[in-house]
Amino acid sequence: MRDGVWLAGATGVGLAGLLPHLVWSQTVTGSPFGVIEAASDQVAGRMPTGSGLAWYAVAFPQRLAGDLGAVVILAGLAYAASVVARRRRDRWGAAAGRDERWAVVLAVAAAVQVLALGLTTHGEARFVLFAVFALTVVGVHGLVVLPGRYGAAVLGLVAVLAAVAVPGTTAFERDVLATVGLSRAATVEVGAAISDRHPCVVVTRYRPQLGWYSGCDDISFATAARSLPTDVPVHLVRFAGGTGQPNDAQVAAVVGSRPATTRTFPGGGDLGSAEVVTLRPIPR
């Protein structure tokens, strides 16, 4: 009963903290969740629902936690689950269980963050930095405090998983780096092709790479649809194999009635060919 009161109190404090945001969002966007939706769609580049979660699952042992970190995190999840299983027969308020409940809370908070972000936006390692760190802490703690009679077996299993994971992720990263090298070559080629006149603006999903290689200011397609400079050349860049690329109708909406020329570059890697639509400045 006492824990339920604390939980209800924490929930109330959390909702009270969110209230100003919800009211402001309702005032500005017409929906209490409008700011969150705009951030997900226009800024974070949300893909089909669940695609971010799929990316986290695929990238988990390579780009998120690393090969050894992934093994430790799996151990942490198993440890948190074992805490729940052991304490179900005891009341969570029992003094004997208090020292371990923090691990469950930390693991649940991390898992909820990954789930929420994975369902609402595309996958990015930096989005789940807290979750990876928290689960690593739980995993290290779990490996340290394992009961003696199970400790040797669990540590042996961890060693076997590490022995399998390290060569596997090394081979995977070697292939990834080769693909990234080809993709970088594609962005360098396009950047060099549009860098002959400054100032300029490049509209692309691949920021800041194309902005850096071209020397142009870079903006997203969502920003370009709302506001676009008219006194400098503007280059709209789409890659055939790129993620989150705009369709023809979205490009046409940005171009409008401005004079434009289109060029195509062969590209490389997983990005494929690049289409560059250049809008000339509008004379004053």
Taking only the tens place, the pLDDT of each residue in 11-21 is 888 888 888 88
Mean pLDDT value across the chain: 78
Q: What is the reported pTM? A: 0.58
Give long-range contacts, CB 8 A cutoff, 24+ apart: 85-90.
none
Instruction: Tally Cβ neighbours within 10 Å of residue 267.
Output: 22
Residues 6+ apart with CB under 8 A from 94: 87
More confident residue, 91 or 64: 64
C-alpha to C-alpha distance for 139 and 74, rounded to whole angstroms: 7
What was the pLDDT predicted at 48? 67
- The answer to whether 200 and 236 are in contact (CB under 8 A) is no
C-alpha to C-alpha distance for 199 and 216, rounded to whole angstroms: 6
What was the pLDDT predicted at 89? 61
C-alpha to C-alpha distance for 204 and 143, rounded to whole angstroms: 45
More confident residue, 99 or 51: 51
C-alpha to C-alpha distance for 19 and 126, rounded to whole angstroms: 27
Q: Which region, left, alpha or beta, applies to residue 253 given φ > 0 means left and ψ of -120 to 50 means alpha?
A: alpha
Strands 234-239 and 272-279: antiparallel
What was the pLDDT predicted at 246? 81
Three-state helix/strand/coil letters over 152-205? HHHHHHHHHHHHHHHHHHHHHHHHHHHHHHHHHHHHHHHHHHCCCCCCCEEECC
Q: pLDDT exceeding 90 applies to what percent of the chain? A: 2
C-alpha to C-alpha distance for 114 and 120, rounded to whole angstroms: 10
pLDDT in tens, 113-172: 888 888 877 777 888 888 999 999 998 888 888 766 666 777 777 788 777 777 777 776
More confident residue, 161 or 97: 161
- CA distances (Å), origin 186, targets 192, 207, 265, 272: 10, 14, 8, 8
Question: What is the radius of gyration, based on Cα positions, of the chain?
Answer: 25
